[in-house]
Amino acid sequence: MLQSISVERTTTPKPKPQANELGFGKYFTDHMFIMEYEPDPGWHRPRIVPYQPISLDPSAKTFHYGQTVFEGLKAYRTAEQKIQIFRPRMNIRRLNLSNERLCIPPLHEKTVLEALMQLLRIDRDWIPFEPGTSLYIRPFVIATEPALGVAPSRHYRFIIILSPVGAYYSEGVHPISIHVESRYVRAVAGGVGNAKTGGNYAASLKSQEEASRRGCAQVLWLDGTYRKYVEEVGSMNVFFRIEDTVVTPALTGSFLEGVIRDSVIRILDHWNIAVQERPISIDEVVRAHRAGSLKEIFGTGTAAVISPVGELHWQGEKLTVGDGTAGALSAKLYDTLTGIQTGRLPDPFEWMEEVGD
């Protein structure tokens, strides 16, 4: 049942940052959404309140056993001042898939969408409109039961916070260098790799640090069983253009089914460009590079949208992808997706949901 959401507005609005200083996830809007779960009555007390710190018992399970999930999606302001969200229902569905894997009770999808819409209406002035900017939406659930036994929590909190953002990488849409990771793995099939849960990101930090010391912005992850098949790049799905075919790793359960991944596959289909979802090994990528048929690599994700890869660092060698600049297909996909998101281009797929007044 759709529950009614109470609203308490801030009396001390914060100054808004300039578009050129946004970066990613540094500023937060004036309000947040919050609701709690206990077995009886279930999810309850949905409310929008001024953005504020939360207080938790130090024994809350989320701190000890990582029972937590999150999502990331974006809202945009069009030239006509319309506010629209990119494919929110897909993120909300995925939030519940993550909940299911982490033994967190499901959220009522319509309540989450309604919460999101109301929060966006209240903080609409925070949605930037300059090229490359958007409002990043971060819904998350934490296990709050104060108890140290390893068992699913009986209490949870669901929160949505909003952050006006610019480009995810300081490089912007310029190509990034990638370190192919052969020592650490991020996740294995059967684990929680396809759930959006904090532990997957914690598991990636060490490798990310080492890659960054080598001058690479991200890590290309290989599968945890054979250390052979490509899985994803940093926190993004990955695509390879080999001659005129685009290949992306088939979903195996060890990495996230990205909303932008799905959108790119549908756009390529629409353009009659062949896309293959199949296992692709790092050896195949290197062979294609040596044969001159590896034309482009790009990552896809909500935060970065499309992120071209200019260079792969693999076993002490630096492989330049294409001519090292953003490939034509990556650039066209970036332009098309951001065009649809910001209302600059038509939306033939009906992906955008308008927030309304």
Q: Which residues pair with 318 in a beta bridge?
A: 313
Between residues 134 and 235, which has the closer beta carbon with respect to ligand COI?
235
The secondary structure element, H or E, covering residue 94 is helix 88-101
Q: What is the CA radius of gyration of the chain?
A: 21
Type of residue numbered 44: H
Query: What letters, b where the CB count within 10 A reaches 16 and e where it falls short, cover 203-235?
Result: bbeebbeebeeeebbbbbbbbbeeeebbbbbbb
Interface segment toward ligand COI; rule CB under 6 A; list 32-40, 56-64, 179-187, 295-303:
295-303
* 153 makes contact with ligand COI (CB under 6 A): no
- Position closest to ligand COI via CB: 301
Under the binding rule (CB under 6 A), the answer on residue 299 touching ligand COI is no
Number of residues that make up the chain: 357
Span 82-111, contacts to ligand COI by CB under 6 A? none
338 binds ligand COI (CB under 6 A): no
Q: Least distance from C-beta 301 to ligand COI, angstroms?
A: 3
Interaction between residue 207 and ligand COI (CB under 6 A):
no
Interactions with ligand COI, residue window 21-80 (CB under 6 A):
72
Give the footprint of ligand COI on residues 312-331 (CB under 6 A). Answer: none
Q: Does 235 bind ligand COI (CB under 6 A)?
A: yes
Phi-psi region of 138 (alpha: psi -120 to 50; beta: other; left: phi over 0): beta
| Interaction of residue 217 with ligand COI, rule CB under 6 A | no
Task: Candidates 171-179, 299-307, 321-329, 348-356: pick the segment binding ligand COI (CB under 6 A).
Answer: 299-307
Burial class of 304 by CB neighbour count within 10 A (0 to 12, 13 to 18, 19+): buried
Considering the complex, state which of residue 85 and residue 288 has its C-beta at the smaller distance from ligand COI.
85
By C-alpha distance, which of 302, 355, 356 is closest to 116?
355
- The site for ligand COI (CB under 6 A) is made up of 72, 235, 301-304
